[in-house]
Chains A and B, each alone.
Chain A
Amino acid sequence: MKFNEEKIYGLIFSLPFFIIFIIFIIYPLVIEICYAFFEKEIGGKLYFVGLKNFYETINSVDFQRAVINTALYVGVGVNTKMLLSLLIANFLNIRSRFQRFLRVLFILPWAMATVPALINWRWIFDLDFGLANLLLKYMGYSNVNWLGNYNTAIALIILFHIWKWTPLWTLILLSGLQGIPVNIIEAAKIDGASGLRIFYHITWPLIKRLYILLTVLSTIWVLGQFEVVWVLTRGGPAQSTHVIATLAYRELFELWNAGKAASILVLVLPITIILILFLIHQLER
């Protein structure tokens, strides 16, 4: 009996997590995929409608816009954030006396609760009394309806993302940079290499893998971003700033169309799963 103890307790100890995974990850995913093929009648009966939901979703302007917005969010937001993080992390790694600055001041946006920060963002860009328009007025310009225009609204959504989450990725990249042995860099310095060349020939090759993996990770999470868009614009003006998650939410909770809501998420699932499997493969080798 004794020799089996490890196996038995191993299974018992990981069982709760296993059950949770099946009930709360696999089962919902199955339900979601099934629902995408059904439509709900007013009476509450489900009807199988084949690919109709997908067809309607793909052809709807709102969905196409949401895909474009999500792509913008990832393409511009995530990449700007990661580049900025890399720059700042490098700066702090070289000038280590400013690291205290990072740990005290710079992590504040990240440490704040998200929704209060978003409410503040909305107040800053308030049409009549916000800080942004106040500053514009001081400089002699007229008011801008920041959250009422598509272009400025989507820019502010992305800007908030950069503001809030740059510190997190900076810290991760910084801990990656600190893993590089100091003597390599010292040796290069003695040989007279400039800062840029040190970065290009030594730091970047060593940090590249981490940087790419972090970018993929951030991309996956941003695909499911919800509260930034929902609190700032609720998808407005005229449903133009929706991303995938907010559009699905609206479809279910404002239009009560569960099938279509599910189809929106199911359409983005393949690319998400591919990215996730890529990361798992990379991390578990």
Chain B
Amino acid sequence: MYYHKKFRNVIRNLLICTIILLLSAWVLLPLYWMISTAVKPRNELYTPNLLPKEPTLKNFISVITGDEPSMILFLTQLMNSFKLAFISIVFTMLISIHAGYALSRLNFPLKNVTSRINLFTYLIPRAFLCIPFYIIMSWYGLINSLEAVSIPVTVFSAPYCIYVLREHFMSIPKEIEEAAKVDGASIPRILYTIILPLSLPQLIALTTFTFIRAWDEYLYVLIFISTEERMTVPIGLAALLNIEAAPWGLLMAASIIYTIPPVILYYMFEKYMVKGIMAGAIKG
């Protein structure tokens, strides 16, 4: 009996180890290949081997200094990515702070409709609107500017922020506001001076959420932007895939650089990224 149990434990532990190993390989192998390619000198790329023989940081340096013809625009495009993220964050936060507060605390006509509309906007696949978006934007001559791209990014990241903020505002005790109301404070004043300071962690997390959305945007930049100097990094890099003999080492180095900010942000704010819309479904 005793040996039987021990045997079963050994088997179980072996099984768990295998699962963990398989999962790690599944996640890490592609990433390993990415990093190892980035540190290989160019001549090693085409004599395939798993380990880089003479690892070098030359690719990273070339990407940052732009001394390779394919990477001349990398820094410009990186700045564009930041610019797009910044504009989108400003728009998104302005809209969602106010709408979120209205939905959580204020009684006004069309409240239920607004919250349904919010869900609808959250759910609709973004790509389904790309064709009319392009048509409308070209009517008004707004093509080829990052400001135009920030509109769809805002439209599609605001609903999540509104939802999370609404839930958060609802969790703040009402008594705090009541006291201020008795003192005659107006609603905007309550929001700006009492509620927002209490929501700093949520605001920071949602700012990073919007940042990542804008950072990752591909379709709408591809549609709207036609000059290379105004593109963001994902479009610039993906465009290099279509030329003969893509510069893989440089591409991987640039990809790693580009992917570092979102990874850091995800580690910091992971719990806020999966919250939100589905929280209601978890409860019931």
Q: B-contacting residues of A (Cβ < 8 Å)?
A: 5-14, 16-18, 20-21, 24-25, 27-29, 31-32, 35, 88, 91, 95, 98, 101, 103, 105-124, 126, 128-129, 131, 133-134, 137, 163, 168, 171-172, 175-176, 179, 209-210, 213-214, 217, 220-221, 223-227, 230-231, 234, 244-245, 248-249, 252-253, 258, 261-262, 265, 268-269, 272, 276, 279-280, 282-284
Asked if A9 contacts B215 (CB within 8 A), the reply is no
Asked if B131 contacts A261 (CB within 8 A), the reply is yes
Q: How many chain B residues have a CB neighbour from A under 8 Å?
A: 98
Q: Does more than half of chain A's interface fall in helix, strand or loop, or is it mixed?
A: helix
Asked if A95 contacts B16 (CB within 8 A), the reply is yes
Taking CB atoms, residues of chain B closer than 8 Å to A16 are: 94-95, 98-99
Asked if B107 contacts A7 (CB within 8 A), the reply is yes
Asked if A9 contacts B187 (CB within 8 A), the reply is yes
- Please choose the segment from B44-52, B63-71, B198-206 that sits at the chain A interface, where 4 or more of its residues have CB less than 8 A away: B44-52
Asked if A224 contacts B125 (CB within 8 A), the reply is yes
Asked if A258 contacts B135 (CB within 8 A), the reply is yes
The 16 sampled A-B contact pairs (Cβ below 8 Å) are A9-B188, A13-B101, A14-B108, A24-B129, A28-B132, A101-B20, A103-B270, A109-B30, A119-B241, A129-B46, A129-B248, A210-B281, A224-B124, A245-B128, A262-B132, A276-B123
| Interface of chain B residues 198 through 231 with chain A (CB within 8 A) | 215-216, 218-219, 222-223
Asked if A217 contacts B123 (CB within 8 A), the reply is yes
Task: Decide yes or no: A249 and B274 within 8 Å by CB, A119-B237, A272-B125 being known contacts.
Answer: no
Q: A-contacting residues of B (Cβ < 8 Å)?
A: 16, 19-20, 23-24, 26-31, 33-34, 37, 45-46, 48-50, 94-96, 98-99, 101-103, 106-111, 114-121, 123-136, 151-152, 154-155, 158, 162, 186-188, 215-216, 218-219, 222-223, 233-235, 237-238, 241-242, 248, 251-252, 254-256, 258-259, 262-263, 266-267, 270, 274, 277-278, 280-284
Task: Decide yes or no: A18 and B114 within 8 Å by CB, A111-B266, A118-B238, A272-B125 being known contacts.
Answer: yes
Taking CB atoms, residues of chain B closer than 8 Å to A213 are: 278, 281
Q: Which of A31, A234, A283 has the most CB of B within 10 A?
A: A283
Q: What is the CA–CA distance of A163 and B30 in the complex, to the nearest angstrom?
A: 10
Taking CB atoms, residues of chain B closer than 8 Å to A17 are: 95-96, 98-99, 114, 117-118, 158, 162
B153 to chain A, nearest CB (A): 11
Taking CB atoms, residues of chain A closer than 8 Å to B248 are: 123, 126, 129
Taking CB atoms, residues of chain B closer than 8 Å to A283 are: 119, 277, 280-281
B85 to chain A, nearest CB (A): 12
Q: What is the CA–CA distance of A21 and B120 in the complex, to the nearest angstrom?
A: 10
Asked if A10 contacts B111 (CB within 8 A), the reply is yes
Task: Decide yes or no: A25 and B118 within 8 Å by CB, A109-B27, A112-B262 being known contacts.
Answer: no
Asked if A120 contacts B255 (CB within 8 A), the reply is yes
Q: What is the CA–CA distance of A92 and B248 in the complex, to the nearest angstrom?
A: 36
Asked if A221 contacts B274 (CB within 8 A), the reply is no
Asked if A221 contacts B125 (CB within 8 A), the reply is yes
Taking CB atoms, residues of chain B closer than 8 Å to A116 are: 34, 234, 237, 254-256, 258-259
